[in-house]
Amino acid sequence: MLEIKNLVAEIEGKRILDGLNLTVNNGEVAAIMGPNGSGKSTLSYIVAGKEDYDILDGEVLLDGENILEMDPAERAVKGIFLAFQYPLEIPGVATMTFLKAALNSQRKARGEVALTTPDFIKRVNEAATKLEIPKEMLRRALNVGFSGGEKKRMEILQMALLQPSFCILDETDSGLDIDALRIVADGVNALRSPDRSFLVITHYQRLLEHIVPDTVHVMANGKVVKSGGKDLAVELEASGYADYKAQEAA
């Protein structure tokens, strides 16, 4: 369970989050929607531990423990996973090498034994097959020369392999064609379970037709301004964000 309480954050003196409150229960899929510049991506970065922001107030509790003092690696070990909107390219580092390093670092930090190579390869291959990722891609340098869709599938592969308890999908639908969207959504849906929660950040309702949320929250000007069920996303698609922007401005 993730609880965000009165989170206030700035970057270079500019307020991005302004008293944000949000709770995502175990097993819940929560969607966050909102106009450009409302602070959605910032929220995902702050939960994952990016250092660029000044946190002025508030708490982020994962299963009751405040994670704001932890570095990104410690948060990952605790179960936080951010699927990046723009996954980064790392030339010269084979995807397999990276996956193994990430998985075994987390296992080591949790006091678990490292996976044997055959066991590791088996797990990767299983996950890759489900996501229609060719083996040849795993031998290439991480994300280098991958298409937008391939990069997003690689993010979901990492998620499947690392088995986090709290997953954030930051505009995972951006840049995906219909087929890729279906593959990614199927990958996410396969990971849904009672002890894993998701925060799905998106502009569009389209993604939420494939990954059906339990709750939908509207973010504007750095806070959650409306919460509801999955129907809220459909309403938003019809009415747009103008009302929420106007509400804030008033």
The footprint of another protein (CB under 8 A) covers 48-52, 71-73, 75-77, 80-82, 84, 87-88, 90-93, 98, 101-103, 105-106, 109, 141, 158, 162
CB of 108 to another protein, least distance (A): 9
CB of 250 to another protein, least distance (A): 37
Nearest to 123 by CA among 144, 150, 99: 99
CB of 161 to another protein, least distance (A): 10
Residue with tokens 């060719």: 134
Taking CA atoms, 182 is separated from 55, 82, 128, in Å, by 36, 20, 15
Residue 106 or 215 having the CB closest to another protein: 106
CB of 177 to another protein, least distance (A): 24
Residue 22 or 103 having the CB closest to another protein: 103
| Beta-ladder partners of 19 | none
Residue 127 or 208 having the CB closest to another protein: 127
Residue with tokens 């909102």: 34
Compute φ and ψ for 157, nearest 5 degrees.
-60, -45
CB of 164 to another protein, least distance (A): 9
Nearest to 67 by CA among 7, 19, 13: 7
| Tokens (6 digits) for 137 | 């891609």
Residue 158 or 202 having the CB closest to another protein: 158
CB of 21 to another protein, least distance (A): 24
Residue 76 or 232 having the CB closest to another protein: 76
> Can you tell me the distance from the alpha carbon of 31 to that of 212, in angstroms, rounded to the nearest whole number?
9
**DSSP H/E element including 62:** strand 54-62
CB atoms within 10 A of CB 69: 8
What does the DSSP 8-state code read for residue 245? H
Nearest to 244 by CA among 223, 213, 216: 223
Residue 64 or 91 having the CB closest to another protein: 91
Residue 80 or 201 having the CB closest to another protein: 80
CB of 159 to another protein, least distance (A): 10
Nearest to 41 by CA among 232, 224, 245, 202: 202
